[in-house]
Amino acid sequence: MKDRLKKIMEEAMEQIEASQQLDKLNEIRVVFLGKKGELTSILKSMKDVDPKERPKVGQMVNEARSQIEEKLEAKRAVFERALREEKMKRETIDVTLPGRRPVVGHRHPNTITLEEVENIFIGMGYEVVEGPEIEYDYYNFEALNIPADHPAKDEQDTFYITKDILLRTQTSSVQVHEMEKGKLPIRMIAPGRVFRSDEVDATHSPTFHQIEGLVIDKNITFADLKGTLQEFAKRLFGEETKVKFRPHHFQFTEPSAEMDVSCFKCGGKGCRFCKGSGWVEILGCGMVHPHVLEMSGIDPEEYTGFAFGVGLERIALFKYEIDDMRLLYENDTRFLKQF
Ligand code: DAH
């Protein structure tokens, strides 16, 4: 028995010493100390030992066990230290390397343009207001004199949420919210996001921005509209800018017009940006339709007004000579930092 024990001890020590990996130590532990291990089997055969000898043998087995355990533990500590050292080496930081600069964001051309437009109108005494992007059909169409089944509704491919609720196709809906408040006179602009189910290309996107304008007071005439929008164009594109109003049709204005500005690139001679015409269309406008005033509780006999709607991207693209609208939505800092 003693010899067998000695042999087991020697073998265990040798294997532990020779082991190269933490995993291997566990295997060794199982072989020698486990339930089916060598030492356990010796304990199991104690019944064959002379009873007088048993305490002594028992003690020897226990000693062997604790020696093997100690040795295993010592070896484990060696492995762990080595692993830790290796990890530290791998993770050292070279503090002398130059740092990486964090990428700093940049104001978006849309934002820059919007702020310019806002400042122009704030300077003329306008208030900047906002309205909801998710809208009732009533505010987006009905109250703007576009009844159900009217063909004008088809021109604006609408994202419907339910039969009556939709993503607004135009910021004109904010006109209605402002008029409903019942506070007159009104002199407001309403910038915001609008949605139309358009395919993405160089000039279209399912979401873009408009800036709506509305003025309602006593004795407002088409001359006020023209003067205001002409002044706006000059401040935005330069003093020498000329404007031209072309008759147009919108359901919520009568009369209606579109305004072109002389191309600030070529001064009107014709170039790539104005497609040779010398003019660029920038907004729709008109005198608020009496129906529209009435529906929102304003007496068209007493009050008149004008309204306009500008495409923000359209202005930004023109002003910054960008020829693909998609660039505005990619947020590539290499593009953005040019403005
Ligand atoms: N809402 C029109 C559109 O999306 C633009 C517009 C035209 C707004 C004339 C107006 C306006 O306020 O008077 O096409």
Is the pLDDT at 179 greater than 90? The verdict is yes
Q: Is 198 contained in some domain?
A: yes
Count of Cβ atoms closer than 10 Å to residue 88 Cβ: 9
Q: 208 CB less than 6 Å from ligand 1?
A: no
Query: pLDDT tens digits for 45-65?
Result: 878 888 888 888 888 888 888
46 alpha carbon to ligand 1 midpoint, in Å?
101
Domain encompassing residue 273: 109-336
The total of structural domains in the chain comes to 2
Among protein residues, the one with the nearest Cα to ligand 1's atom 4 is: 170
- Range list of β-strands (E), 183-234: 186-195, 207-217
Q: What pLDDT score does 81 carry?
A: 92
Q: 140 CB less than 6 Å from ligand 1?
A: no
Read off the pLDDT of each residue in 152-170 and give the average, rounded to a whole number. 88
Are residue 45 and residue 150 in the same domain, yes or no? no
Are residue 84 and residue 117 in the same domain, yes or no? no
The angle subtended at Cα 52 by Cα 50 and Cα 58, nearest 5°, is 85
Q: 308 CB less than 6 Å from ligand 1?
A: yes
317 alpha carbon to ligand 1 midpoint, in Å?
19
Query: pLDDT tens digits for 271-301?
Result: 988 889 999 999 999 999 999 999 999 999 9
User: Looking at 47-51, 87-91, 163-167, 305-309, which range is the least confident one?
Assistant: 47-51
In DSSP notation, 245-262 reads: EEEEEETTEEEEEEEEEE
Among protein residues, the one with the nearest Cα to ligand 1's atom 7 is: 284
Q: Is 98 contained in some domain?
A: no
Are residue 311 and residue 164 in the same domain, yes or no? yes
6 alpha carbon to ligand 1 midpoint, in Å?
99
Strands 186-195 and 279-288, bridge-based pairing: unpaired
For position 134, which CATH number holds? 3.30.930.10
Q: What pLDDT score does 6 carry?
A: 86
282 alpha carbon to ligand 1 midpoint, in Å?
11
